[in-house]
Structure 1
């Protein structure tokens, strides 16, 4: 399996500085990174910082999440088929919500080929202390990116006094108690810290397969593999009983009386079924908080 890191953070937080330094560290270790970068504009300014020998895919004028999810899946599939690489680094736009970004990169089509190490959020510590100056919508996104991080970089510490540094870290830790917080300048983080992250891991071969979830993490993902068909009614009943902490589900569900597994998508209580004209693998990916506690046994009855 190939490791995947997702770099999140608000506009101007220092994600590209983090990306270039991590690329350097991986290459120094003899590993070949690949990169997917997402930018809101028409010109790939940030991608100019990536060395030419690094496999790179760009997504311009859009978001890696939401409507861009299918494009992201296609980019990853292309990298898997056409390029040689050891680890994938995905830099999202500053306007991306981390849950939606994780959803976009964790497709049931190649979930077993990738090991999602987790979300690294770069937080502008100065902006955190002045977050009340942001509009409500922008402030909500900024804080959501921090709340869902597995590893949180309290960046731009050089701009703060010692008292401000202590207050920023204390407040962030209280807001996201499950993330390890590292104080940084210019987004520099030891590679060893990244490699110790664990959002998902090898999948055991069982009737219902699930990714082992790192107990210290909150936002994570899980894979369910169906060995038999289900009725649409019983499956939707199971969906209705899920806790609110399940944010996203997508995959292919084998339904009784239907030739091929149907494409199923779920987002914040909304359900969508679509017919599939190819025999896709009967796998479902769940994304949410404390997803390891969700009861999945019985949905294949």
Structure 2
């Protein structure tokens, strides 16, 4: 399993500074990191800062989430095929990416058993937090969603605030996301060892189900199938799932068909698509408090 860390945060918050600091620390520990970067436009601006010997894949002129999910899967698959000795993958999302949708692109059933997403580290522009009411409602909502779904919050640009302002930012962030640690940082400088420690989780695995993200606000679960299912019965099971299940995707074996169907679920809507090749029958679930979810045998 390769550990994956997702760096989230609004435009200009300091994600690339954090990324470069972490790469340096990993190399000093003789680890081999790989980087996946998502940028706006068709020119690799931020990625030029990453040194050449670090394996790098980019998604340009598109978003890691939504319609860019298939491109993201292809790039990550290429990264895994070309760099078998990678220890850690660091993913920097564009500042306009919603964290749930970003994870959706990463949790592909094609390589869900090879990657272990350790968590989302969201870099918060502390100055922007104080002035968030000046943002448009849509942009402010995205800014808040990035903070809400974080596993660690970095209150960055702490040097630009007074002691009183910094205390207010820290207090308000802790009230908005009550379950995560908040670290005050300058220029994205943060100990990667400390990030690892804060995101430690049980390593236990079960034969038929792999659970990751235990105890974190947003997590995933991989369900594998040994038997085919009735399509109607499966949809009825999906309808009974709690609202904390945000996304599902994978390959579900359906009775009477040769190959598993591609199955996707989002916001209460289900979608089936026939596959013409034999895919591994497994399903990735993304949400909150999903550890106890399983498909009845």
* Bin of the TM-score, shorter chain as denominator length: over 0.9
- Report the Cα offset of residue 210 of structure 1: 2.8
SS in 2 for 1:211: strand
Per-residue deviation, 1:214? 2.5
**1:284 lines up with 2:276 in the alignment:** no
SS of the residue 1:95 aligns to: coil
Mapping for residues 248-263 of structure 1, pairs under 5 Å = 248-263=247-262
Match of 1:244 in 2: 243
Structure-2 separation of matches of 1:220 and 1:200: 11
Partner of 2:268: 269
Change (3 A) 1:138 1:199: farther
Compare 190-199 and 265-274 and name the one that shifted more.
190-199
* Higher mean C-alpha displacement, 79-88 vs 145-154: 79-88
Please say if 1:137 is aligned against 2:135: no
Partner of 1:20: 20
1:14-163 equivalences under 5 Å are: 14-83=14-83, 84-163=85-164
Deviations 1:89-135 (A, max 9, x none): 01000000000000101111111111101101000011111100000
Matches within 5 A, 1:190-205: 190-198=191-199, 202=203, 204-205=205-206
* Distance (whole Å) between structure 2 residues aligned to residue 29 and residue 12 of structure 1: 28
Find the counterpart in structure 2 of residue 182 from structure 1. Answer: 183
Q: CA deviation at 1:203?
A: 6.4
RMSD between aligned residues: 1.4
1:5 paired to 2:9: no
Relative distance call for 1:200 and 1:75 in structure 2 (3 A) is farther
Contact 1:199–1:221 at 8 Å: present in 2 too? Answer: no
**SS at 1:210 equivalent:** strand
2:184 is aligned with 1:171: no
TM-aligned CA distance change 1:282 to 1:64, over 3 Å: same
2:37/2:91 contact within 8 Å kept: yes
Contact 2:117 2:213 in 1 (8 A): no
**CA deviation map 1:53-105 (0-9, x unaligned):** 00001111110111111111111111111123211001000000000000101
Which shows bigger deviation, 138-147 or 191-200? 191-200
1:205 Cα deviation (Å)? Answer: 3.7
- Equivalent position SS for 1:292: coil
| Partners of 2:142 and 2:261 in 1: CA distance | 33
Residue of structure 1 equivalent to 2:294 = 296
Aligned partner of 1:228 in structure 2 is 227
Give the secondary structure class of the aligned counterpart of 2:272. strand
Q: How many residues align?
A: 296
Deviation at 1:213, TM superposition (A): 3.5
Residues 175-230 of structure 1, C-alpha deviations (whole Å, 9 max, x = no match)? 11111111101011111122225487656243x31314432x11110110111111
Contact 2:118 2:199 in 1 (8 A): yes
Q: Distance in 1 between matches of 2:105 and 2:175?
A: 28
